[in-house]
Structure 1
Amino acid sequence: MDSLKSKSNPVPALERGARILDLVARSRSFLSLSEISRELKIARSSVHTLCHTLINLELLIRRSDQTFQLGPHVMRWSNAFSLQSDVATEFASIWDHETELPGATITLTVLEGAEVIYIAARNSAWSNTRIDFRTGMRLPAAFTATGKAFLSHMSDFEVRRLYPEGLPPVRTPRSVQDVDNLLKELQEIRQRGYSCDDEQVAEGIVCFGAAVLDSRNRPIAGVAVSLPNESVDEGVQKKAIANVKRIATQLSHRMGADLHGPTNPVRS
C-alpha cells in the first residue's frame, strides 16, 4: 500500500530539485537564482534552499558571478549509467522481437582503431557457409557495414589520420580500395542515414548497418543485418534498412541518446 501511495505522491522537494538540474543542464548560459525562479515559477526562497542543498551534494556549483552550473556528482551518475548500460545485453533483449527477416544474420560491433570487434552475433544457417560472425572476431572497419557507420561520424581528416598508409588489403574484389573512395562512401552514408557493405567483406553477402549512439550522441556500437545477395530485392532491401535503423534507434534510446536534440556535425 505504501509503495502505491509513494508512486502517486512524489516528493515535491525532490521533484523541484530535479527540475532545477534539468534546467541548468539544458540552458545555453549560466543561470542566476532569480532566473531559475522565474523560469520554473518556483518561489525564490525555495529555489535558494534547493540550490544550497544541491551545492552541498555536489550536484550544482555556484560560480563567482553567482550563477550555477552542474557539479561533479552528476558525472559520477553518468559514469555509473554507462557502466550499467550494457549495449550487448540490450541488443540481445530486442533482436528477436525486432527482426522481421528470419533468414538474416544480425551483428553488433564496437570500434577499436581501424577495426571493428564483434561483441554479439546471431548467425543464420546460410551465413555459416560464407562467413561465420563470432564474438571477438575482428574485421577492417573500412569494409564492414558497422565500421562504415562508425567512420561516417568522423571528419574526413580523422578518417585519413586513421589510415596514414592507406587501407588494409582488400577482402573481395568489391572491397573499397583507397581512402578517397572510402570518403565518398562515408559522405553518402551521412546523407541517407545508413551504411552498406555490398560484398566487401565476403562474396555473396550484403550488409546494412547503423550506429548506436550514447548519451553524448556519439557512436558506441554498430548494428548490422546481413543477407545473401541473391535474396536481396528492392522490397527486402527496404525492410532490412528499416529494420536495422529501428534496432539502432531503440538501442540508442536505451543508451541515453538524445534522438530529438541537435546532432553532432561532421566537418569535411
Structure 2
Amino acid sequence: MPVSAEGSALRALRVLEAVGAPGGPHRLGRIAREAGVTKPSTHRILQGLAEAGYVVSDGDGTYGPGPRAYALSAQFSPTQHGEPVLRRLRDETGQTVHVALRSGTRAVYVRKLDSDRPYRMASRVGGQIPLHCTAIGKAVLAHLAPAERAALLAETGLPPRTARTRTDPALLEAELAEIRSLGYAVDDEENEETVRCVAAPLLDPGGRPVGGVSVSALTFQLPEDELLAHVPRLLEAARLLAPAYT
C-alpha cells in the first residue's frame, strides 16, 4: 500500500526526533528503532534531511541535528541553546549578535538578536553565508584540518562579495593562521558593505568547529577599535555556548 504524504511527513518527524534524542550523535540502527521506521526508509529520510540541513553526519555512520534543526528549535523555544548567554552578549555590547552553524560549504544563521540601534541588519535566521569572507566563516575555516579546508575552498573558490573580500588564497591562509593564534576573526566589510563583524568559533570537545558566534555593527555606528574592545566578552560567550551546539 502506498504511503500517504501525511504518513511520510510523520515518519520524517519521528526520524528527526530520534536524531535529536539525548546521548547523540546516533547510529542508523538506533535511529530506526527509536523512530519505528525500517532501516532502508530511515536511511533515505536521513539523506533528505541532511541535504536540507536538518541533519548532519561526519561520515562515521552517526547523525546529529543540523543547523536548520537548531534554527527551528530556537523559534519554538528561545530559552534554550544558550539564550541567556546571547542576551547578555547583546546587552553588554549594544550590538547585533548572531550564531551560525556550518552546513557543508556554507554556514546557516540559527539565532539572531538585534540591537536596539535604529538601523537593522538584513541577516535572518535560516539565511546562508559564505565561509571565506564572513567573521563566523573564517573562524570556522581557521579551525578545520588543512586538507579539509583546502578541499572546501577548492570547491567554493574565493568569489568577491565586496571590494574588500580576500580573493588571494595565500593572503587568506595567512589570515586564518592569525585567527587561530588570536582566537577570533574579523569581517571588515568583506561580505557586506558598511557591516563589520567579529566572531569566535564554537568548537566541539575534539576541537572541531561546528559554527561561530559574532557581534556585528554598522561601520558608521561603531569604529573598529570599539568593536574589538568586545572580544573578551565574545570569547567568553563562545566558551559558554559551545556545549549547547555540540
* Partner residue of 1:123 out of 114, 122, 126: 114
Deviations 1:95-132 (A, max 9, x none): 11233111x1111111122211111112334553xx41
Equivalent in the alignment of 2:164: 174
Alignment of 1:1-268 (within 5 A): 77-79=23-25, 89-99=80-90, 100-102=92-94, 104-124=95-115, 125-128=117-120, 131-164=121-154, 167-230=157-220, 231-239=222-230, 241-254=231-244
Equivalent in the alignment of 2:77: none
Structure 1 residue runs without a partner (length 5+): 1-75, 257-268
Report sequence identity in percent: 28
User: Contact conserved, 1:123 with 1:133, CA < 8 A, in 2?
Assistant: no
Pick closer, same or farther for the CA change 1:105–1:183 going to 2, 3 Å: same
TM-score computed with the length of structure 2 as normaliser? 0.63
Deviations 1:69-120 (A, max 9, x none): xxxxxxx83537x76xx69532323211233111x11111111222111111
Moved over 6 A (4+): none
Which amino acid in structure 1 is aligned with residue 23 of structure 2? W
In structure 2, how many angstroms separate the alpha carbons of the residues matched to 1:169 and 1:126? 31
TM-score computed with the length of structure 1 as normaliser? 0.58
Which amino acid in structure 1 is aligned with residue 239 of structure 2? T
In structure 1, how many angstroms separate the alpha carbons of the residues matched to 2:233 and 2:110? 19
Structure 2 residue runs without a partner (length 5+): 1-21, 27-63, 75-79
State the shift of 1:152 in Å. 0.7
C-alpha RMSD of matched pairs (Å): 2.6
Pick closer, same or farther for the CA change 1:127–1:172 going to 2, 3 Å: farther
SS at match of 1:182: helix
